[in-house]
Amino acid sequence: MQPGLRYMMQLSFLFLIMKPLTAQQNKMNIAGVYYLRGVMETASVFELKQDSSFEFFFSQGALDRGGSGKWSVKDSRLILNSTNKRPPKDYALVTSKTIPGGFTVIKMVDKNTMILSYSDITIKTPKGVLQKSTNSQGEVQFPEKNAAEISCLFRLCPDRESVFTVNPQNNYFEFRLEPWIAEVFFQDFALTIKDTELTGAHPLLEGSAFVYVKEK
């Protein structure tokens, strides 16, 4: 074999073994714990693990939320995706029936009675849209019947409403909160990587200029 050809083959082999090593080194450099900075009375953390999984933590007042999934890097941007897709609704309709009276009753049922009073309920009736919040027993009563649509929003996690099309002949409805209601789901959530910082949006806060600093 000619010396020049042997040299080129050696370079090619060296490049092939160095490329995965460089990617692994980059992953190790990016992995770590990143803390949100500059937001009063709020704690938020991204923990990027070397196996490409991540954990997200958020605490604000009495509210604690979290999420998890896989992370990757593309064009100097960190991309986060949850392992599972978010289910279509955060509430489940348990019971619907007709009871005596010219009103509509909505009731929340959950083993954790502390959260029963945090649901905002909206109903659409032939006479218009009505909105109320559940009381400490998880109940709310509207002075109208024949609701064709009911929307439920958990006030502590106001990411989205769960909307149900219901039988307008019924006027009593029971709902339960799904166990994932406080979970944060990620879909191609991107942050810019710069040295020991991540910058960009926050999954739960408004704005696009947040800074997350890596723990030393």
pLDDT of residue 23: 46
The reported pTM is 0.80
pLDDT of residue 28: 56
Q: State how beta strands 128-133 and 197-200 pair.
A: unpaired
Q: If pLDDT is split at 50, 70 and 90, which confidence band does 83 have?
A: very high
Percent of the chain scoring above 90 in pLDDT:
81
Q: What is the pLDDT of residues 100-121, one digit of tens each?
A: 999 999 999 999 899 999 999 9
pLDDT of residue 1: 52
pLDDT of residue 22: 44
Residue 19 has pLDDT above 70, yes or no: no
Q: What is the pLDDT of residues 161-193, one digit of tens each?
A: 999 999 999 999 999 999 999 999 999 999 999
